[in-house]
Amino acid sequence: MRESRVRRIKALVLKETIQILRDPSTLLITVVLPLMLIVIYGSGVSLDIKHLKVGLVLEDTSPDARDFANSMIHSPFFEVTSAYHRHSMDERLIDGSIAGMIVIPSYYTRAKKTFGKIAPIQLIADGSEANTASFVINYVTGAFANFLIQEALAAGGVGEKPIIEVKPRFWYNEQLESRFYILSGSLAITITLIGAMLTALVVAREWERGTMESLLSTPVTSFELVIGKVIPYFILGMISMALCVAITVFCYGVPFRGSLLLLTLVSAVFLLCSLGLGLMISTIAKSQVLAYQITLMVGFLPAYILSGFLFEILSMPMWIQAITTFIPAKYFVQSLQTLFLVGNVWSLIFYDMAVIALIGSIFFIITALKTARRIP
Amino acid sequence: MSRIFSLIKKELLAAFKDKKIRFSLLLPPIIQFFLFTFAATLDVKNVPIGILNQDHGTKGFELVRRFAGAKTFHRNIYFLQSEKEIASFIDEQKGIMVLSINEHFSRDLLAGKQADLQLIFDGRKSNTAQIVSLYASEIIHQFNVDILTSAGMFVENAAIIPRVWFNPNLYYYWYNIPCLVVVLAMVICLVITTQSIAREREMGTFDQLLVSPLLPFEILVGKVVPGIFVGLFEGLLMLGIGTWILGVPFTGSFFLYTLSLFVFVTSISGVGLFISSLSATQQQAMLGAFVFMLPSILLSGFATPIDNMPKFFQILTYLIPLKYMLIISKGLFLKAMSAKIVFYNLWPLVIISIGNFSGAILLFRNRIQ
């Protein structure tokens, strides 16, 4: 009995492996897509603001105004286009070629020299790019504040002033490279794609073509069937994961400070959880189009938006924060970012792993129940 | 002509007759729309921070009070007792930042010396950390100015007056909604177009279409109509929800918007045709669509600004239809964009459509002969 079970599972695994190797779309999703994602996330997408395009309108050309203009032009954060009239900048703001404009009005110097008056500099940001707009405001205000302090210190003699010097330190990512955390987090998306989407499509196809029924009519039990599906895709996913980690570390120079064993363990648990999700979806949906749509909805998109790998969960409204509690990718992203950038924070990673395992087993239980009910 | 119409009728029936499919075409985009609108935000609010105050003087206390009073932090401040706690506080992500005030902070300031202040951030989340650091330095800057002013040596006589055009309160969802309308219209149009041919091919009914008197051109037109129809319909539906229910202003011309959306979904269905003409099974078609969709969304300027990308990727974005439509959509929603700028961004879409359709027709021709 036992032996025949092993033999049947072996046969199923073999059948599945042959199917995997025969279909070019498997190669697409396990090699091409992850590589593409890594290149895009590693080289293309960046949240580091280095060249904010701003327009500078100098209605006042006095030395005072020019001093500030120069400090802007020489700043590495800005790419400044200068003009003497503001209407030439309006259109640039509308067509999006600048993110904001700074207007030094004609009465700037006069106001500055008048006692009790505050000379205004107008800063207009393009609110249709909300994130960039707040960066523009914060950076320009900060640059101007520094400029004023420097000016005051220069005017009042050098040094020995009671003033606070801030020493900001960004732990685990001193240069603030956003690709460090984006790349490590994006592995969660890759695994979700292989685990959930590929499996969902493959199993749904078997239901759609009726081959699943023929499999179920053989002596194979539904447990063996699930194992037979899980093993090959598990191996495929782990290979793809290893490939991605290697590229992330060796080609993109993302540090890896945790233990490889722990990473393998977390990844395995998360991959199993995704496989469970894929199996569950396909068992419920039975058609490829539907399975695809559902996987996008409950697998890919949550991994992308609700996992905290790009968008900060704490900033989301409460009801969405509550939803993220049930998203396994959230815990995986946390573990990945920690293992890559910090090291082995045992308490955090074991907690994450436990939650992922719990959610995953729910997926498997539902799948088993749904498949069992179908047999009679 | 009547041939095309009956074909279109057949395609529309095939696309919408299944109740589950109809459901899956309508519901997911709406859920995604709401979820994305409020979740996909790079805003930073309510982030927890830790404060370690080892200074027993008045200045340290005053600074702590300023942090506690700031809108961004006030609800989420943890007080740490010793330096040892900093590491675990950051490591376990209990907070994004620790403000550490050393024991001679007040003494230094009162003695007229420069005082040091340490801010420690969780670099794992560099974007959030960066924004929080800007908030923190604003508070500290104000503190500095007040100290200098009370020392009688600094008068702030100039100021930046920031204003935000097009979105005065800087609501993130005002940015998200014009983008999502277009992104979701693209996704749905692409899914429908790619799967319609692949499905027929997998089932073998595509050959029957080919042996009918229909010309390849007519078959392709019939195949793209449902996708264009649904893309346009859902785009306008979400525009309605966005403006009427969620209150995002629509300042441009509705006619121009509809026209642009039509050109855009047509270009996307061209891409869909091209993908399905290359793939033999539904699975390949869907994964192919995915391989097109993902970089499109990531590089279109929706997730992160195109200006941040390296030159090579910036050039690549010229090939992405979504990029042009995002500019138009944001422009017509928020900026009352003029027809001139709209058309300037629309013609590349026409070129892309023509390219894809002719490519797809050529591929099908080859297959038939």
**Measuring CA to CA, which residue among A39, A366, A172, A145 is closest to residue B158?**
A145
Q: Is A205 on the interface with B (CB under 8 A)?
A: yes
Residue of A32, A293, A326 for testing the chain B interface, max B β-carbons within 10 Å: A293
What digits encode the pLDDT tens for the residues B332-344?
999 888 899 999 9
Contact check, Cβ <8 Å, B157/A128: no
Which residues of chain A have a CB within 8 Å of the CB of B298? Answer: 40-41, 44-45
Instruction: Please report, for residues A284, B85, B116, the alpha-carbon distance to residue A373 in angstroms, rounded to integers and kept in the order given.
Output: 12, 53, 68
Q: Which helix (H) or strand (E) holds A168?
A: strand A164-171
Q: Tell me the C-alpha distance between B304 and A150, whole Å.
A: 33
Contact check, Cβ <8 Å, B166/A128: yes
pLDDT of residue A361: 93
Contact check, Cβ <8 Å, B294/A341: no
**Residue ending a domain, choose from A105, A120, A155:** A155
CATH number at residue A105: 3.40.1710.10
**Measuring CA to CA, which residue among B320, B345, B226 is closest to residue B267?**
B320
- Which amino acid belongs to residue B263? V
Residue A161 maps to a domain: no
Q: Which of B47, B140, B148 sits opposite A166 (nearest CB)?
A: B140
Tell me: ipTM over 0.85: no
Sign, CA torsion B213/B214/B217/B220: negative
- Residue A115 φ/ψ, nearest 5 degrees: -65, 135
Contact check, Cβ <8 Å, A118/B141: no
The string of DSSP codes covering A63-132 is HHHHHHHHHHHT-TTEEEEEES-THHHHHHHHTTS-SEEEEE-TTHHHHHHSTT--EEEEEEEETTSHHH
Q: Which residue has the higher pLDDT, A130 or A360?
A: A360
Which residues of chain B have a CB within 8 Å of the CB of A139? Answer: 134
Q: How far is A39 from chain B, CA to nearest CA, in Å?
A: 10
Q: Tell me the C-alpha distance between B366 and B159, whole Å.
A: 68
Which residues of chain A have a CB within 8 Å of the CB of B315? Answer: none
Q: Which of B119, B144, B310 sits opposite A168 (nearest CB)?
A: B119
Q: Is B369 helix (H, G, I), strand (E, B) or coil?
A: coil
Write the DSSP symbol of residue B70.
S
Residue of B73, B124, B193 for testing the chain A interface, max A β-carbons within 10 Å: B124
Residue A164 maps to a domain: no
Evaluate if residue B41 carries a pLDDT over 80. Answer: no
| Percent of residues, chain A, with pLDDT higher than 90 | 16
Contact check, Cβ <8 Å, B39/A24: no
Evaluate if residue A8 carries a pLDDT over 80. Answer: yes
Placement of tokens 């997998």 in the chain: B202
Q: Which helix (H) or strand (E) holds B282?
A: helix B282-299
Placement of tokens 């995704």 in the chain: A274
Q: Is B150 on the interface with A (CB under 8 A)?
A: no
Residue A31 maps to a domain: yes
Contact check, Cβ <8 Å, A306/B39: yes
Report the chain A residue with the minimal C-alpha distance to residue B248: A128
Q: Which residue has the higher pLDDT, A255 or A76?
A: A255
Co-location of A79 and A206 in the same domain: no
Evaluate if residue A374 carries a pLDDT over 60. Answer: no
Query: Residue A116, Cβ neighbours under 10 Å: how many?
Result: 6
Q: Which residue has the higher pLDDT, B20 or B238?
A: B238
3-state helix, strand, coil in chain B (%, to 5): 70, 10, 20
- Which amino acid belongs to residue A65? A
Q: Is A198 helix (H, G, I), strand (E, B) or coil?
A: helix
Q: Is B317 on the interface with A (CB under 8 A)?
A: no
pLDDT of residue B17: 76
Query: Average pLDDT, stretch B13-38?
Result: 79
- Which pLDDT band, with edges at 50, 70 and 90, does B309 fall under? confident
Contact check, Cβ <8 Å, A46/B286: no
SS3 per residue for B163-180 = EEECCCCCCHHHHHHHHH
Dihedral over alpha carbons A34, A39, A45, A47 (to 10 degrees): 100
Contact check, Cβ <8 Å, B124/A202: no
Residue of A164, A172, A208, A342 for testing the chain B interface, max B β-carbons within 10 Å: A164
Co-location of A266 and A356 in the same domain: yes
Q: Tell me the C-alpha distance between A344 and A322, whole Å.
A: 27
Residue A160 maps to a domain: no
**Measuring CA to CA, which residue among A303, A297, A361 is closest to residue A334?**
A303
CB B330 within 8 A of CB B178: yes
State the pTM of this model: 0.84
Q: Which helix (H) or strand (E) holds A57?
A: strand A52-58
Tokens of A242: 């290893």
Tokens of A362: 């729910």
Co-location of A191 and A320 in the same domain: yes
Q: Tell me the C-alpha distance between B369 and B367, whole Å.
A: 6
Which residues of chain B have a CB within 8 Å of the CB of A169? Answer: 118-121
Task: For residue A302, give its domain range.
Answer: 2-45+177-374
Evaluate if residue A159 carries a pLDDT over 70. Answer: no
Q: Which of A29, A49, A99 sits opposite B287 (nearest CB)?
A: A29
**CA angle at residue A249 from A244 to A254, to 5 degrees?**
120
CB B84 within 8 A of CB B72: no
Across A2-11, A309-318, B150-159, least confident range: B150-159
Beta bridge partners of A59: none
Q: Which helix (H) or strand (E) holds A6?
A: helix A2-22
What digits encode the pLDDT tens for the residues A242-279?
999 999 999 888 889 889 999 999 999 999 999 999 99
Instruction: Please report, for residues A131, A357, B46, B269, the alpha-carbon distance to residue A326 in angstroms, rounded to integers and kept in the order given.
Output: 27, 12, 21, 35
Q: At what angle do helices A199-209 and A288-295 cross, to 10 degrees?
A: 160
Q: Is A329 on the interface with B (CB under 8 A)?
A: no
The A residues from 159 to 198 touching B (CB cutoff 8 Å) are 160-174, 176-178, 180-181, 197
Q: How far is A58 from chain B, CA to nearest CA, in Å?
A: 14
| Percent of residues, chain B, with pLDDT higher than 90 | 23
Dihedral over alpha carbons B214, B215, B221, B222 (to 10 degrees): 10
CB A353 within 8 A of CB A335: yes
Query: Average pLDDT, stretch B25-51?
Result: 81
Q: Count H helices and E strands in chain A, helices first.
A: 17, 5
Contact check, Cβ <8 Å, B42/A311: yes
Which residues of chain A have a CB within 8 Å of the CB of B307? Answer: 51-53, 99
**Measuring CA to CA, which residue among A12, A361, A362 is closest to residue A206?**
A12
Q: Tell me the C-alpha distance between B73 and B70, whole Å.
A: 6
Q: Is B119 on the interface with A (CB under 8 A)?
A: yes
Evaluate if residue A347 carries a pLDDT over 90. Answer: no
Q: Tell me the C-alpha distance between B98 and B93, whole Å.
A: 11
Query: Average pLDDT, stretch A195-216?
Result: 81
**Measuring CA to CA, which residue among A261, A256, A236 is closest to residue A245?**
A256
Contact check, Cβ <8 Å, A311/B138: no
Tokens of A328: 């396994």
Q: Is A76 on the interface with B (CB under 8 A)?
A: no
Query: Residue A239, Cβ neighbours under 10 Å: how many?
Result: 13
In A156-221, where does DSSP find H-type helix?
178-192, 199-209, 211-216
Residue A20 maps to a domain: yes
CB B327 within 8 A of CB A128: no
Report the chain A residue with the minimal C-alpha distance to residue B39: A316
- Which amino acid belongs to residue A60? D
Co-location of A276 and A370 in the same domain: yes
Across the A:B interface, residue pairs with CB atoms under 8 Å apart total: 371
Residue A172 maps to a domain: no
Co-location of A108 and A135 in the same domain: yes
Co-location of A243 and A270 in the same domain: yes
Contact check, Cβ <8 Å, B117/A49: no
Co-location of A15 and A138 in the same domain: no
Placement of tokens 């233990």 in the chain: A259
Q: Which of A44, A53, A130 sits opposite B175 (nearest CB)?
A: A130
- Which pLDDT band, with edges at 50, 70 and 90, does A372 fall under? low
The B residues from 52 to 81 touching A (CB cutoff 8 Å) are none
Across A101-105, A228-232, B16-20, least confident range: B16-20
Beta bridge partners of B115: A164
The whole-chain average pLDDT of chain A stands at 83
Q: Tell me the C-alpha distance between B340 and A285, whole Å.
A: 47
Across A110-114, B149-153, B301-305, least confident range: B149-153
Evaluate if residue B74 carries a pLDDT over 80. Answer: no
Q: Tell me the C-alpha distance between B191 and B265, whole Å.
A: 12
Which residues of chain A have a CB within 8 Å of the CB of B154? Answer: 149, 152, 156
Co-location of A215 and A356 in the same domain: yes
pLDDT of residue B322: 94
3-state helix, strand, coil in chain A (%, to 5): 70, 10, 20
Co-location of A112 and A209 in the same domain: no
Across A274-283, A311-320, B180-189, B252-261, least confident range: A311-320
Within chain B, strands assigned E span 49-53, 77-80, 97-101, 115-122, 158-165
Q: Is A150 on the interface with B (CB under 8 A)?
A: no
**Measuring CA to CA, which residue among A281, A279, A205, A280 is closest to residue B198?**
A205
Residue A289 maps to a domain: yes
Q: Tell me the C-alpha distance between B170 and A181, whole Å.
A: 26
Which residues of chain A have a CB within 8 Å of the CB of B147? Answer: 162-164
Co-location of A329 and A364 in the same domain: yes
Query: Average pLDDT, stretch B163-177?
Result: 86
Q: Tell me the C-alpha distance between A67 and B124, whole Å.
A: 37
Report the chain A residue with the minimal C-alpha distance to residue B193: A289
What digits encode the pLDDT tens for the residues B54-64?
888 888 888 88
Q: Tell me the C-alpha distance between B278 and B208, whole Å.
A: 19
Q: Tell me the C-alpha distance between A357 and A218, whole Å.
A: 31
Query: Average pLDDT, stretch B23-44?
Result: 80
Evaluate if residue A160 carries a pLDDT over 60. Answer: no
Query: Average pLDDT, stretch B170-196?
Result: 88
pLDDT of residue B249: 93
Evaluate if residue A376 carries a pLDDT over 50. Answer: no
Q: Which of B24, B121, B161 sits opposite A168 (nearest CB)?
A: B121
What digits encode the pLDDT tens for the residues A266-317?
999 999 999 999 999 988 887 888 888 888 878 888 888 888 887 888 778 8
Write the DSSP symbol of residue B124.
G
Residue A87 maps to a domain: yes
Contact check, Cβ <8 Å, B116/A164: yes
Q: How far is A357 from chain B, CA to nearest CA, in Å?
A: 20
Q: Which residue has the higher pLDDT, A291 or A25?
A: A291
Dihedral over alpha carbons B276, B279, B280, B281 (to 10 degrees): -80
Co-location of A302 and A362 in the same domain: yes
Write the DSSP symbol of residue B309.
S
CB A262 within 8 A of CB A339: yes
Number of domains chain A contains: 2
pLDDT of residue B360: 85
Co-location of A107 and A232 in the same domain: no
